[in-house]
Amino acid sequence: MSSMSTDHSTGGAFVSETGAFIVTDDLHVIPNLPTTVFELFQKLGISDLDAVDEINLNVGYKEMLTILHCSLHSNSPLTSTFVSKGSKGSNSGCLLNYEMGNSSGNGMGKMEEAAEMAMTIKLVIQKSNNKMLFAHAEENFVNFLFSLLTIPLGGLARLSGNISFGSVGNLYNSLSTLDPEKHLKSPQLKNMLQNPQLAALHISQNQLFSFLETETEYYRQTKRVFLPSGGHIQNFYVVQNQVRGFLPNESCKKLLLKDPKFKGQYARPSMFIVTPDMHVASLTKFSVVSHFRRLGIPLSDVEEQVINIGMAEVQKILKASFESNLVLTDEDIKIMTKRIKREQT
């Protein structure tokens, strides 16, 4: 699939307005040059150009959402979106590749630092089948879970040393092959896409991934309006850029914003219930007894286990939250239980 933009007045945010690109089925982006076209055909094993057809497609809101979804789950998101659209099992090959191993060099920070920031949660297990029912967690773990919603897709791709999210990694890696002077609007934009930052004051205190925050300065602008009676009223505005050259009746002072991480970022200090499918509820509003009755589980078949949440568990949670309805599976519980027993002996 090729894409070209020639409207200089309404150019996109990242690539050159006059640039033409080829997007492969697995979301590699390359410049649309004669040499790259022939190299791509050779790579695909196509020697007869008469066997190749071009089809014009309209990409609307629905198609954009489908590409986004398939890019996380499929190794061929364009085929899944346009060619296999409407066919049964078109996304049956959507797989997420995951390898546990050495995480150095993948932007996750040092394992020693991650170990110091490890969190503890208490799992409620059904003893007869070793099935996780839910977890007791303090606000630090819940803050971590909610912080996953703030990670940009480019940030997920940057972590793909051990975790691969469909074809998003290919899209991310394409940036390294594009010349920022020729194909992108600026080197700064390339760096922004390769190293995306989170919104200011929105990195969790227990964030184990090495993301940076955007540095945004806020100012309080004051305008005094004088009344005919001789008095005046003051209007206050919060602005992101310092107002320069303001009138004598105006002033602008920099604001020192309180970092919400000092008191917990999303959840206040409390106890929470986290179910295997990532539902979060306050312990005060969650009836444990009613929950067991709904599941048909006698209290005699329930036990609690305390586990530590470190880098390995965080990787599993991040991966599983995209590919599965169950974040912590029964097999994960068995592995963690065996490890805890080894540490206790």
| Cα 247 to Cα 265: distance, rounded to the nearest angstrom | 38
Structure-token pair, residue 309:
């949440």
> What is the strand order of the sheet 29-31 is part of?
2-4, 20-23, 29-31
Residue that is written with structure tokens 């394992």 in the block: 111
Side-chain-facing half-sphere of 140: CA atoms under 13 Å: 13
Per-residue pLDDT of 164-187, as tens digits, reads 566 777 888 888 888 888 888 888
Per-residue pLDDT of 14-70, as tens digits, reads 667 666 788 888 888 888 888 888 888 888 888 887 777 777 777 776 777 678 778
Please state, in angstroms and as integers, the Cα–Cα distance from residue 288 to each residue in 97, 120, 130, following that order.
36, 20, 18
Per-residue pLDDT of 8-29, as tens digits, reads 444 556 667 666 788 888 888 8
Please state, in angstroms and as integers, the Cα–Cα distance from residue 179 to each residue in 23, 184, 187, following that order.
16, 7, 9
Structure-token pair, residue 159:
């972590």
Determine if the pTM surpasses 0.75: no
Q: Which of 184, 199, 187 is nearest to 13 (CA)?
A: 184
Question: How open is the CA angle 143-126-340, to the nearest 5 degrees?
Answer: 65
Q: Tell me if 193 sits within 8 A of 177, measured CB to CB.
A: no
Give domain limits for the chain.
2-87+164-194, 107-148+263-344, 219-256
Q: Which of 166, 168, 177 is nearest to 196 (CA)?
A: 168
